[in-house]
Amino acid sequence: MNTSTKIKPMPLSERLQRLDKLRPAHPEFPKCAVQALAETPISVFLAGFKDARDELAYLLDIDIADLEQMNYAQLAASIHPFWLRRREYIIADNATSLLASPYIYIENLPRKGDGDERRKIVP
């Protein structure tokens, strides 16, 4: 994981205000989160989604052993050329959906409440 991003000191009151506005406490967080996702090994990211992994390997014509050695950014980059070829966009569309399997699973989990019970943080 890339640890080169330095978190700038910020007063607690300012961080709490940011959180109260549903923003990250530190402005550096989104960049770090995207970098962490990009560097996540596909073997970890799709660990609970073997069928999606196998279908991705088939669709993209990548050996499963090779796919397991890739990270999220590398796999996403291998999908991109299919978007550029007009007749193969369906492959890219399906591959993108398969790559999103963990997110789709999480989105479909039952939720408690409707989110209105969020605790307000007052500095």
Residue 1: per-residue pLDDT: 47
pLDDT, tens digit, for every residue of 40-54? 999 999 999 999 999
pLDDT, tens digit, for every residue of 57-113? 999 999 999 999 999 999 999 999 988 887 778 899 999 999 999 989 988 887 776
pTM: 0.71
Mean pLDDT of 19-46: 93
HEC assignment per residue over the chain = CCCCCCCCCCCHHHHHHHHHCCCCCCCCHHHHHHHHHHHCEHHHHCCCCHHHHHHHHHHHCCCHHHHHCCEHHHHHHHHHHHHHCHHHHHHHHHHHHHHCHHHHHHHCCCCCCCCCCCCCCCC
Examine the pLDDT at 114 and tell me if it is beyond 90: no
